[in-house]
Amino acid sequence: MPLYSHSRLQSFQNCPRQFAYRYIEKPDIERLDTIEAFLGSRVHETLEKVYRDVEMERTPKWEDVLDDFEQRWDKEYSDRVRIVRGDYDAEDYRNVGRRCLKEYFVRHYPFREGRILGLEKRILVDLPDDNGKVYKLQGYIDRLVDIGDGQYEIHDYKTSRNVPDQEKLDSDRQLALYQIGIEARYRDVRKVHLVWHYVRADKEVRSYRTPEQLDQLKYDTINLIKEIELKSAAGDLPPNETMLCDWCEFYSICPAKRHLVTTQELSAEAF
């Protein structure tokens, strides 16, 4: 049985054909990072370094934080990073990263916000159905914090441009699944705070789940996995064209888009 994850489930919901390429067929094509994903990875890595220093009883300095980001950017950036929005270049995105980290640094300094239990912490979630079959999921928590008295915080960093409204975050699956795993792992849990840091907007958003909401999430997630397995077995994984297609790593081979790639490479006469 495959080990599921939120990203695996989300890929199926966004586009079954992308799901098939990514997790089943795995075609041998060159994988390009989008600049948005590249920016997010570098910001995540630098914030992880910040809190690893805090774990070692160091109080981070802004100059060191910025230097860490600059070194990671220079080391990892290459022509394999794809910029979809042609009116911006890599330096524009780099400046966004610098600003995100600066504002986060100012907001959270000196970073003494509870006891850190894990950074990029792997969490396993078991979801048993009514027949005793157990579906297994895994995920990685950006930062898990014990704030005392049986209260835990699950932190997630986002570099996306838009901040979802509260209603959407209150129904978010990813961090709520992590909560199920945390409650199974730590027996003293009284309350779990789900915390998103939308660093591009310098905004922190929180949400909470009731036991009834978590039960419904378990039910919905199991049914989604069953749908995935049923449609995968039947080969029923068609493309779903949306505005996200331009950022898909399988754009050039997707049956919904590959004709555009082919015609773009033709001369005017051949077209």
Residue 5 lies in a domain: no
Cβ neighbours, 10 Å, residue 41:
15
Question: Do 99 and 121 reside in the same domain of the chain?
Answer: no
Kindly state whether residues 143 and 222 are assigned to the same domain: yes
User: Are 148 and 229 in the same domain?
Assistant: yes
172, 210: one domain:
yes
At 250, the pLDDT band (50, 70, 90 cuts) reads confident
Q: What is the pTM of this model?
A: 0.90
Is residue 10 in some structural domain? no
Question: Is the bond preceding 2 in cis, omega lying within 30 degrees of 0?
Answer: no
Residue 100 neighbours by CB under 8 Å, 6+ apart: 43, 159, 199, 200, 202
pLDDT tens, 180-189? Answer: 999 999 999 9
| Same domain, residue pair 175 and 97 | no
In which band, very low, low, confident or very high, does the pLDDT at 271 lie, cut at 50, 70 and 90?
A: very low
Tell me the average pLDDT of the chain. 92
- The residue out of 71, 90, 108 marking a domain boundary is 108
> Is residue 180 assigned to a domain?
yes
Give the domain extent around 69. Answer: 32-108
> Residue 39 carries which side chain, given as an amino acid letter?
L
The number of distinct structural domains making up the chain is 2
The closest alpha carbon to 18, from 261, 255, 239, 243, belongs to 239
- Let me know whether 74 and 170 are in one domain: no
For residue 227, give the amino acid letter.
E
